[in-house]
Amino acid sequence: MIKSSFLVYIAGNIGAGKSTVVDFASRQRGWQGILEEQEEFLRHALEHAPSKFHSQVYFSMRRLEQNNIIRDHVVSVVERSIEEDRYVFWNYYKNKNLLSDEDIQALYYMYTIIKPNFRTPDLIIFLSVPTDIIRTRIEMRNRSFEQDFDLSLLEQLENSYKNTITEEGVVQLITVDGDRDPLSVWKDVRNTINHALKSRGH
């Protein structure tokens, strides 16, 4: 892994448009887009894993894999971070009694071991979308592995994202309105990244 890329994490709720933004970024000359994973992986991790503990281990290892394929591009745009797993999804599944105290303890131990391998991002962009719009998007794309989420808790997940990123503090956070057509969202994200690059002399 080469550390010269300007590293951007795209954060946001389920269905906020993160994958679409990363896909746009991958088409930008000199930029690298790293998706969370293809739908086949997501289905395997969420539908076929023996438990939520196993699925969260899968995702943590995928975060490490994403980190390890960051290359020497002008900008690397990555979908999600391990902090979202730790602070958002692990807490969500714990509150739903799908992760035990022992599971959480093991996941936290794994996190402390692998965390030093991760680069600190230069920028986090949070795609903010009203929860009723998120709910509609999830229902429209009809992914079977997303159906176990209690859609009434989407607002709780949204707040968890915002609180998590705020708590991190050391990384610049910019919120982008994701409740627009994908091209408009992407242009806003691209302009935000370019402005951050210029302000840091890149």
CATH number of the domain at 6-199, please? 3.40.50.300
Measured CA to CA in angstroms, residue 163 lies from 38, 103, 117 at distances of 28, 23, 24
Using one digit for the tens of pLDDT, what is the confidence trace for 52-90? 898 899 889 888 988 888 877 889 999 988 888 888 889
Q: What is the mean pLDDT of the chain?
A: 83
Residues 6+ apart with CB under 8 A from 41: 58, 62
- Assign 115 a pLDDT band (cuts: 50, 70, 90): very high
For the entire predicted model, the pTM comes to: 0.83
Token readout for 14 is 């389920």
Overall average pLDDT of the 85-113 stretch: 92
Query: How would you class 10 by CB atoms within 10 Å of its CB: exposed for 0-12, middle for 13-18, buried for 19 or more?
Result: buried
pLDDT of residue 187 exceeding 70, the answer is yes
Contact of 79 with 36, CB cutoff 8 Å: yes
Instruction: Please report, rounded to a whole number, the percentage of residues in the chain having pLDDT higher than 90.
Output: 40
Least reliable range by pLDDT among 37-41, 52-56, 152-156, 171-175: 37-41
Measured CA to CA in angstroms, residue 11 lies from 122, 184, 186 at distances of 13, 17, 14
